[in-house]
A = this chain, B = another copy of it.
Amino acid sequence: MNGWHLHPQLADDTHPLATFALCELRLMDDANYPWLVLVPRVADAVELIDLDAAQRHALTDEIDRASHVLRDVFRPYKLNIAALGNLVPQLHVHVIARYEEDPAWPRPVWGTAAARPYTAEALIERIARLSEALRV
């Protein structure tokens, strides 16, 4: 759509979960945390301020939907939501389920514990649970 394509780094780091009206919903390949990433399909968007009002509102609605799925499936202690983009310039929003027992708590997850990629079996199971929750 309008020349948008997923940044290769995000393609490497995440697995596809769903296509929402504005965003691609992806699963971060890090079994340390239930961690979703929303990527608006808006060509050349880097910052949230690159979105217009309708896109901003759609994004926050999709963050809400992704957050409810994480909460319902994983019952986290806290949700962390962030648009940083210091390393990967394509606009993307992290939606992360946090626990007081997770490897980074209470710090943010970035740059703390090394990513722990899913085994094939764990990945299939996790995607199945999330896909089921997304269908409801």
Contacts and interface: CB of A to CB of B under 8 A. Distances in A.
A87 B63 contact: no
Interface of A: 47-49, 53, 56-57, 59-61, 63-64, 67-68, 71, 78-87, 98, 105-108, 110-111
Given A57-B57, A79-B47, A79-B48, A86 B67 contact: no
A108 B106 contact: no
A14 to B, nearest CB: 19
10 contacts: A47-B67, A48-B60, A48-B63, A48-B81, A78-B86, A80-B86, A81-B84, A82-B82, A86-B107, A107-B111
Contacts of A48: 60, 63-64, 67, 79, 81
A88 to B, nearest CB: 10
B83 A82 contact: yes
Given A56-B64, A64-B48, A80 B84 contact: yes
Contacts of A107: 86, 110-111
B79 A82 contact: no
A108 B80 contact: no
